[in-house]
C-alpha cells in the first residue's frame, strides 16, 4: 500500500490536439508498492496521459514531479533515466531474436575488441542474469534461448515486462497488458504485476477489463473526456461505481455528472 509521498506526480496537465482537448487540468500520482488502475472509455485521455508521463508527448501546460522534485521530461529517454518504463500494447519485441536477445536489446553486455566497431557480446553473463531476472519474477518460459516468436501471448507480455523492469526501474506503465490474452495467460500476467508490486515498484495499468483491474489494483483512477473524474480505493468500491464514473452516469467524488456536462456545454 502507498507510503510516504508519491514517487511520481503530474499536476494540472493539459494537452490539446487541434480541436480536441485530450487532457484538461489532470493530476496523476503513483506511489511505490502500489498498482494503479487507469480506466476510462475510448478517447478519455488514458493513452495521452501515459504518453505525457513517459515523455512521448509534451503537455501544453502542467508540472512534473519525481520523488517530490520538479523535473523536466522532454523525451522518452529522460523518463527512462528517472526509472520510468512503459510497455505498449505492441510490446516492441523482435520475434526473430531469443528471450535473452530481447531482454538486452540495445543494452548488450559486451567486451570491446574495437570500441564502437567490434564489440563481442557476453552471452553467458547475459543469459545468467536473464535467468535470475525471470526466476525472480517467476516468469515461466520454456527456454531463454527460445525465439520470442515461439512464445505464447502471456509469455511475450512477460518478456516485455521483464525487459522494462530489469534496469532498476521504479515505475512501470503497462498499456492493456491482458487485452489479447486467454484466461490462463491473463492470470500469468496478473500474477506478474502483483510480483512487481511486491518488489516495491509503482505499477500503472491501463485496462478496459474492470474485472482485471479490481483483481490487481490498489487504487483506480478514472478519466472521462480528458478530465480526472474519480479516484477509488479498490478495497472500498465496487464495479458499479467505477462504471458509473467511466460512463458519466454519476460522479463518484460527490458531483452529479449531468450537472457538470451541462456546465461544459453552456
Partner 1 sequence: MDAETHFEESETKNGFIGEQWKALIRRIAEGEIGSLPVLLGLILIAIIFQLANDNFLTPLNLTNLMVQIASTGTIAVGVVLVLLLGEIDLSIGWVSGFTAGIMAVLSVKQQQPAWIALGAAIAAGAGIGLLQGWWIAKLKVASFIVTLAGFLLWNGALLYILGQTGTINLNDPVIIAISNTNLPVWFGWVLGVGAMLVFAYTQVRERSRRAKAGIRFSSMPATIGKIILISAVVLLIVFLLNLNRNPRQGEPIQGIPSAMLIFLAFVIIFDLLTRKTAWGRYVFAVGGNAEAARRAGINVDRIRISVFILGSTLAACGGILAGSRLFAVNQSSGGGPELLNAIAAAVIGGTSLFGGRGNTWSALLGILVIGSISNGMNLLALESSIRFMVTGAVLLVAVTLDAYARSRREVSGR
Residues at the contact surface with partner 1, assessed by CB under 8 A? 76-77, 90, 92-97, 101, 105-108, 110, 117-121, 123-125, 127-128, 131, 135, 138, 140-145, 147, 149-151
C-alpha cell at 136: 525472480
Smallest distance from the beta carbon of 92 to partner 1, in angstroms? 4
Q: Are 108 and 157 in contact (CB under 8 A)?
A: no
The single-letter DSSP state of residue 147 is: B
Smallest distance from the beta carbon of 156 to partner 1, in angstroms? 9
Smallest distance from the beta carbon of 179 to partner 1, in angstroms? 15
Nearer to partner 1, 128 or 262 (CB): 128
Smallest distance from the beta carbon of 169 to partner 1, in angstroms? 15
Nearer to partner 1, 19 or 113 (CB): 113
In sign, the C-alpha dihedral spanning 231, 234, 239, 241 is: negative
In Å, how far are 196, 224, 262 from 265, measured between CA atoms?
43, 15, 5
Nearer to partner 1, 103 or 213 (CB): 103
Nearer to partner 1, 3 or 138 (CB): 138
Smallest distance from the beta carbon of 222 to partner 1, in angstroms? 29
* Count of helices and strands (H, E) across the chain: 9, 12
- Residue 218 burial (CB count, 10 A): 17
Nearer to partner 1, 7 or 151 (CB): 151
Half-sphere exposure of 71 (CA within 13 A, CB side): 23
Smallest distance from the beta carbon of 22 to partner 1, in angstroms? 22
Residues 173 and 187: their CA atoms lie apart, in Å, by 18
Nearer to partner 1, 63 or 125 (CB): 125
Strands (E), 101-253: 110-114, 118-121, 171-175, 202-206, 219-224, 227-233
Amino acid at each position: 500500500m502507498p507510503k510516504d509521498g508519491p514517487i511520481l506526480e503530474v499536476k494540472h496537465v493539459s494537452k490539446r490536439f487541434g480541436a480536441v482537448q485530450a487532457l484538461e487540468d489532470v493530476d496523476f500520482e503513483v506511489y511505490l508498492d502500489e498498482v494503479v488502475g487507469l480506466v476510462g472509455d475510448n478517447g478519455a485521455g488514458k493513452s495521452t496521459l501515459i504518453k505525457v508521463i513517459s515523455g512521448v508527448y509534451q503537455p501544453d501546460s502542467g508540472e512534473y514531479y519525481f520523488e517530490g522534485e520538479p523535473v523536466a521530461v522532454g523525451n522518452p529517454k529522460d523518463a527512462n533515466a528517472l526509472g520510468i518504463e512503459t510497455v505498449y500494447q505492441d510490446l516492441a519485441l523482435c520475434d526473430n531474436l531469443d528471450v535473452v536477445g530481447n531482454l538486452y536489446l540495445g543494452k548488450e553486455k559486451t567486451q570491446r575488441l574495437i570500441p564502437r566497431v567490434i564489440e563481442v557480446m557476453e552471452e553467458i553473463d547475459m543469459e545468467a542474469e536473464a535467468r535470475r531476472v525471470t526466476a525472480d519474477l517467476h516468469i515461466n518460459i520454456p527456454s531463454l534461448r527460445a525465439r520470442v516468436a515461439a512464445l505464447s501471448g502471456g509469455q511475450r507480455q512477460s518478456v516485455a515486462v521483464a525487459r522494462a523492469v530489469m534496469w532498476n526501474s521504479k515505475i512501470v506503465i503497462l498499456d492493456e497488458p491482458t487485452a489479447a490474452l486467454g484466461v490462463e495467460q491473463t492470470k500469468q500476467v496478473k500474477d506478474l504485476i502483483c510480483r512487481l508490486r511486491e518488489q516495491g515498484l509503482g505499477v500503472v495499468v491501463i485496462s478496459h477489463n474492470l474485472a482485471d483491474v479490481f483483481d490487481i489494483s490498489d487504487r483506480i483512477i478514472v478519466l472521462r473526456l480528458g478530465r480526472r473524474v474519480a479516484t477509488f480505493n479498490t478495497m472500498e468500491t465496487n464495479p458499479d461505481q467505477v462504471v458509473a464514473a467511466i460512463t458519466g452516469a454519476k460522479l463518484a467524488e460527490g458531483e452529479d455528472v449531468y450537472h457538470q456536462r451541462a456546465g461544459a456545454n453552456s
